[in-house]
Amino acid sequence: MLSKEERLAREIADALNDPDALPLYISFAEKYTEAHLRRLLQRVLSIPQDQIRKTRGALFTYLINQNYGKGNSRD
């Protein structure tokens, strides 16, 4: 049975079409709140593909790193 964090990470990986980064998304789900991750996911998915330089997964990771320390950590 998958944990809540693993289910969220799989959902993010599926939405971003980035299954290879599942371990990274699991670490994000363990570190950040679900609400924060869902907000960032919606933001990434709302951007047209032609405005994304690399991949949606790379953009999601970039935004996570930019928003680190904004009070959305589980700590």
Q: Would you list the DSSP string of the chain? A: ---HHHHHHHHHHHHTT-GGGHHHHHHHHHHB-HHHHHHHHHHHHHS-GGG-SS-HHHHHHHHHHHTTTSS-B--
- Kindly state whether residue 74 falls inside one of the protein's structural domains: no
Nearest to 9 by CA among 62, 73, 60: 60
Structural domains in the chain (count): 1
Model confidence at 66, in pLDDT bands (50, 70, 90)? confident
Nearest to 34 by CA among 6, 8, 15, 61: 8
Residue 75 has pLDDT above 60, yes or no: no
Average pLDDT, the chain: 91
- Kindly state whether residue 48 falls inside one of the protein's structural domains: yes
Identify the domain containing residue 44 by its residue range.
4-66
